[in-house]
Amino acid sequence: MFNDASHHPPAAAQGKQGPTSESSAEKVLNLLLAFSASGREMGTTELSVKLGLHKSTTSRLIKTLVNAGFLQQNPSTRKYLLGISAYQLGYTASRTLNARLLAVAHPYLYGLAQQTGESVAMEMVSGINIILASHVEGPSHLRFNFQQGEVLPINVAAGAKAILAYSSPDFVESCLQGEFKRFNDRTIVSKEDYRKLLKQVKAEGISYDRGERYEDIHAMAAPIFFADGSPKAAVIIAGPASRLTDSFFRSAVSPLKETAATISRSLDL
């Protein structure tokens, strides 16, 4: 009928043009971010309303994005989804950010190891696994030795708990696919118990391991966040149960949280 009406005001007409009208460069990027946010397939019209652009503009931008490989069209639905260039870009970004995280974090890990006298490590997300990415051995003769690159069992690793406590339910569930391995009688093997524990960890901001893997090893961990608020890593203090008592834990909470927070901040620039 008269769908053209469109008497909607010229969007932030006057009023000191706070958000200056977007450049076309900004428009492409916002278009990409729209996909990043929703993840769904979307059509031209849907995108145009979502971004407040004209269909014609949207159509042209999409064409550009498809040519560059950032979007592709699902032939059956005729809608668009993220393409291989977006994937490649993210892969490179991930490597870059991880490298930067490692470089930035190491001195702080070292400082924490000196301060606490125990071994310190950083665990990082890799796909749907959590791996041991970096470590600094403590000054003591009796200390825990981390194994670089190891894929960690998420039910016992303190860092994994800290990371998952702040992760999206979606991601948590994909990590919970496999069976939990039992290492000893303290090991958590029930998925239900584990989910409850994550809530507790999130409330405290710290996760603990009191011998759930190796009976004589205790550990504690705090999450590191990327600029978008997503937890991508954790700092872990680990050592012999005889030294990592509850009183040690209490005294180490602040330094640990502080270290993790400092690393998170340093990533933002």
Partner DNA sequence: CTAATTGTTGCGTTATACGGAACATAAACT
Partner DNA sequence: AGTTTATGTTCCGTATAACGCAACAATTAG
Residues that bind DNA (CB under 7 A): 1, 3-4, 6, 8, 11, 21, 23-25, 27, 43-46, 53-57, 59-63, 78-79
Identity of residue 241 = A
CB of 140 to its own copies, least distance (A): 26
| Sequence-separated contacts (24+) of 146-149 with Cβ below 8 Å | 146/119, 146/121, 146/238
Q: Which among DNA, its own copies, none contacts residue 187 (Cβ within 5 to 8 A by kind)?
A: none
Residue nearer to DNA on the CB measure, 54 or 186: 54
Q: What is the DSSP code (8-state) at residue 267?
A: H
Length of the chain: 269
| Sequence-separated contacts (24+) of 224-228 with Cβ below 8 Å | 224/101, 224/105, 224/122, 224/260, 224/263, 224/264, 224/267, 225/166, 225/264, 226/97, 226/264, 226/267, 227/267, 227/268
Q: Which among DNA, its own copies, none contacts residue 11 (Cβ within 5 to 8 A by kind)?
A: DNA
> Rounded to a whole number, what is the largest CA-CA distance in the chain?
82
How many residues touch its own copies (CB under 8 A)? 58
Among 125, 221, 224, 244, binds its own copies (CB under 8 A): 125
Among 9, 15, 18, 75, binds its own copies (CB under 8 A): 75
133-172 binders of its own copies (CB under 8 A):
148-151
Residue nearer to DNA on the CB measure, 8 or 250: 8
Look at residue 234 and give its three-state secondary structure.
Answer: strand
Q: Under the criterion CB under 8 A, does residue 74 sit at the interface with its own copies? A: yes
Q: Which among DNA, its own copies, none contacts residue 56 (Cβ within 5 to 8 A by kind)?
A: DNA
Match 């093997």 to its residue by tokens.
Answer: 189
